[in-house]
Amino acid sequence: MTLQETLVGGFQKNFPSSIVKKLNKDNFLDIHIPSLNPAKATHLFFNTPKTGIKIGFYCRDEEFVKATLKKSKKLESYSQGIRLKDNPVFETADLAIKAAIEFVNLMTAEKAKKEVKPKSAVKPKPADKKATKVISKPEIVKPQVSIPPKEEMQEPVSVGFWQWLLRLFK
């Protein structure tokens, strides 16, 4: 099962009337939710590159966007619709599904559904929080390789096959 198929399965459990518009064609999974906005050109999207999962809602209707943004401070607009504030990146499909459900609930001004936990559930320890980490912005890692001064660097010398062979046996 692909990542996009996993996302569809988890999301449609909570929104069975949703319609999958695009699946496994590129990095974008598009799901139309008629109960959220009946216009055909609108859809929830999951951006699924190899670096994580982002979610958003594509909609060109400015009135809908303005009205939806008034419902929660956790939402922001972007050039083509609405997304979660600061456009977070989710590391796993489970986190992205939970965030998408919360995202739709924020857009409809409904409170998020409470998770039903088994009686034996234990509060997560601080070490467990790393497993559910949400990356807010990509980090830029500087290279750890030191560059030697110019006087230590030698220019490569271009040699032909026979010159190379002679150097090899000297």
Per-residue b or e along 1-11, where b marks 16 or more CB atoms closer than 10 Å to that residue's CB: eebbebbbebb
pLDDT digits 0-9 by tens, 44-93: 999 999 889 999 999 999 999 999 999 999 999 998 899 999 999 999 99
Flag whether pLDDT at 18 surpasses 90: yes
Lowest average pLDDT, out of 72-76, 101-105, 113-117, 138-142, goes to 113-117
* Helix, coil or strand: residue 60: coil
- State what percent of residues in the chain have pLDDT above 70: 66
Question: So what's the pLDDT on residue 79?
Answer: 86
β-pairing verdict for 89-90 and 134-135: antiparallel
Q: What is the pLDDT of residues 141-152, one digit of tens each?
A: 555 555 555 555
Enter the pTM of the model.
0.63
Q: Compare 165 and 100 and report the one with higher pLDDT.
A: 100
Higher pLDDT, 131 or 169: 169
Q: What is the CA radius of gyration of the chain?
A: 25
The distance between the two most distant Cα atoms of the chain, rounded to a whole number of Å, is 81
Query: Please, how many CA atoms are within 13 Å of residue 102, restricted to the half-sphere of its CB?
Result: 15
Task: Kindly report the average pLDDT of the chain as a whole number.
Answer: 79
In the predicted structure, residue 113 carries a pLDDT above the cut 50:
no
For 118-168, the DSSP string reads -TT--PPPGGGGGGG-EESSPPPPPP-PPPPPTTT--------HHHHHHHH
pLDDT digits (tens, 9 = 90+) for 47-60: 999 889 999 999 99
Q: Tokens 């216009």, residue?
A: 39
Instruction: Report whether 43 contacts 57 (CB < 8 A).
Output: yes
Six-digit token string for 2? 């692909």
- The percentage of the chain sitting over the pLDDT mark of 90, rounded to a whole number, equals 57
Cβ-proximal residues to 107 (8 Å cutoff; 6+ apart), any chain: 36, 57, 68, 71, 72, 75, 82
